[in-house]
Homo-oligomer: A and B are copies of this chain.
Amino acid sequence: MTQHENAALKIWRAHFDAWTSKDMDTAMTYIADDIVCDAPAGRLDGAAAYRNFLEPFSRILTGVKPFASFGDEKTAVGIYEAQTFPVPHAPGAECVTVVDGKITHSRFIFDRTPFDAARRSQG
């Protein structure tokens, strides 16, 4: 994994390590109350909406394979494969803005298609 240490990246990685370990309480300590999150299905406003989005995903996670992460003082990006119960190989990307040690904006990019297909096949 390609890594570059700095302020925003450290926050992103601490948050990533927590939620991918299913420790959502710790993960949320890095999230600003008024976070704006742009997810594939649309925009989520506020920490509660963010947690409602991410916690169910963390529950179906069986593993994670980081590919690359970079950042500077304000912005961090991470590229990884999420391994989940319905979809064994789900590449994902995150791009976050960090202000005063908290993630104030987050963008999640992943393909919903295999998750929708898995849901349909489960009825």
Q: Which residues of A does B touch, CB under 8 Å?
A: 2, 4, 38, 40, 67-68, 70-72, 74-75, 77, 79, 91-93, 95, 107, 109-113, 116
Residues of the B chain whose Cβ atoms lie less than 8 Å from the Cβ of A109: 79, 91-93, 109-111
Q: CB distance A72 to B4 under 8 Å?
A: yes
User: Is the Cβ of B107 less than 8 Å from the Cβ of A79?
Assistant: yes
Q: Which of B74, B91, B95, B112 contacts A79 (CB 8 A)?
A: B95
Number of copies: 2
State A70–B107 Cα separation when bound (angstroms): 16
- A36 to B29: give the CA distance in the assembly, Å: 39
Within the complex, the shortest CB–CB distance from A110 to chain B, in Å, comes to 6
